[in-house]
Amino acid sequence: MYDLIVRAGQLLTLEGPKGPRTGEYASHLGILENGAVAIEDGGIAEVGKASEIGSAARNIIEWKGLVMPGFVDPHTHAVFSGSREDELKMKIEGRTYLEILQTGGGILRTVRATRKADFQQLLRETKMRADTMLLYGTTTAEMKSGYGLDLETEMKMLDVISEIGRTHPIDTVPTFLGAHALPPEFSDRDEYIDFLIGDVMPEAKGKARFADIFCEKGVFDAEQSRRYLSAAKKYGMIPKIHADEIENLGGVRVGAELGAISAEHLVRTSDEEIELMAEKGMIADLLPGTPHMLLSDHYAPARKFIERGVPVALATDLNPNCWTESMQMVINLASLRMRMSPEEAIVASTINAAYSIGMGDEIGSLEPGKKADLTLLSVPNHMHIPYHFGVNLVDTVIKDGKVVVRDGQISV
């Protein structure tokens, strides 16, 4: 007798070969009309046609609409204090993101607020965002440090990420992003990188699964990225890199050289670098919310990545410059602004997103042996996700086999 059976009008299993999805599998949803998922001990026991799975369960949810894996958000800066709504007005008036950063706004302003907030305050603010993510169907999220830029606050951020993972239905994956900006205490970028390597990484070791750096003009260059990520590897952290968000400084090559699992943003990535990523099997984490909120018309060339066989993942980039918890919104932008098909965008938001945070064997598809993380949407089929935009289509969320959202409300 199963704990729970979920029956669906349309079930997206995302079944397929092991490994990040490319080629024909970049758009393969494994659709079952009138499908069902049987759940036992928080995991998926069986998946198939509802008629084959029967009704031997303590509980049955009969859902006429769409059932799919919980969204995986593989790139967020969800831990921060305060907000920067007035900067949107500056951007509308024509000031650029880097100009705002250079005059002490942007990331540095959030650093000041995040340093001031004590652990409980930061936890409260992050929990509100984790709640919203869950309500919008996200069941696992990567979260980065990077608004501390000193030992104490970077550790406070990593501890908040771990506490959310322990106490909130959402699973969190921690990334150390000490190299997010140059803090006011330093005037030399190389000295700051030395400080991160010598003083902060030994403490981040064991708390963070990944290390990330903002490789960007006026922030950190390719050589600094190489030094930082090589050191992080020695501390057991897997490299990731923010590359080509605004300008191309060669971050993809550094990532490829060091075996980075993914490179992120990739708005200005060259054809040669796209080939290199395909060769290395590096995942392209594309974040279309960011150009949207930078008032830019330049989006990552998603079609090129897909056509050349680079696995594509999507993420919110949730941060005070691009504040959305909604993977549904990201799918809308990916389809409309990067011309990803609804199917490609869903693969990129589930199974490929899971692989880009090293969790493709546990989550991201509805296959026996994986965690029972499911999202139930009030739509008849998957094409409604990019189509019916700006509202929350999620009704029910199941995490580790338990109903955690019901009727659009958190139920735990």
Distance CA 318, CA 78 (A): 6
Q: Please identify which residue in 242, 253, 268, 292 interacts with ligand NIG, judged by CB under 6 A.
A: 242
Q: How far apart are CA 21 and CA 172, in angstroms?
A: 23
Which residue is at the shortest CB distance from ligand NIG?
A: 321
Q: Which is nearer to Fe ion, 66 or 261 (CB)?
A: 261
Among the residue ranges 106-114, 201-209, 332-340, 343-351, the one whose residues contact ligand NIG (CB under 6 A): 106-114
Q: How far is the CB of 212 from Fe ion (least distance, A)?
A: 8
Element spanning 193, H or E? helix 189-195
**The amino acid at 111:** V
Q: Which CB atom, from 290 or from 332, has the smaller least distance to Fe ion?
A: 290
- Per rule CB under 6 A, is residue 210 in the interface with ligand NIG? no
Cα dihedral across residues 289, 99, 192, 273: positive or negative: positive
Exposure class string for 127-163: b at 16+ Cβ within 10 A, else e: bebbbbbbbbbbbbbbbbbbbbbbbebbbbbbbbbeb
Q: How many Å apart are CA 190 and CA 372, to the nearest integer?
A: 45
How many chain residues touch ligand NIG (CB under 6 A)? 12
The answer to whether 171 contacts Fe ion (rule: CB under 5 A) is no
106 binds, among Fe ion, ligand NIG, none (CB under 5 to 8 A by kind): ligand NIG
- Report if residue 320 touches ligand NIG, rule: CB under 6 A: yes
Closer residue to Fe ion, CB minimum distance, 22 or 321 = 321
Q: Which of 106, 178, 291, 364 binds ligand NIG (CB under 6 A)?
A: 106
Q: For residue 39, give every residue at least 6 positions away whose Cβ sits within 8 Å of its Cβ, in sequence order, or none.
A: 2, 3, 4, 5, 6, 45, 372, 398, 401
Given ligand NIG, Fe ion, none, residue 290, with its beta carbon under 5 to 8 Å by kind, binds ligand NIG
Residue 273 near which of Fe ion, ligand NIG, none (CB within 5-8 Å, type-dependent):
none
Q: Which does 7 bind (CB under 5 to 8 A by kind): Fe ion, ligand NIG, none?
A: none
Q: What is the Cα–Cα distance from 5 to 53, expressed in whole angstroms?
A: 8
Is residue 317 at the binding interface for Fe ion, with CB under 5 A as the rule? yes
Using rule CB under 6 A, residue 317 touches ligand NIG? yes
| Per-residue buried b or exposed e for 267-292, using 16+ beta carbons within 10 Å of the residue's own CB | bbbeeebbebbbebebbbbbbbbbbb
Q: Closest separation between CB of residue 205 and Fe ion, Å?
A: 22
Give me the residues paired with residue 241 across strands. 263
Name the minimum Å distance from CB 97 to ligand NIG: 7
Q: Is 290 in the site for ligand NIG (CB under 6 A)?
A: yes
Q: Which does 373 bind (CB under 5 to 8 A by kind): ligand NIG, Fe ion, none?
A: none
CA dihedral angle for residue 354, residue 358, residue 361, residue 364, rounded to 10 degrees: -10
Instruction: Give dist(CA 73, CA 161) in Å, integer.
Output: 14
Q: Which residues bind ligand NIG (CB under 6 A)?
A: 77, 106-107, 110, 214, 242, 245, 290, 317, 319-321
Q: Which residues bind Fe ion (CB under 5 A)?
A: 317
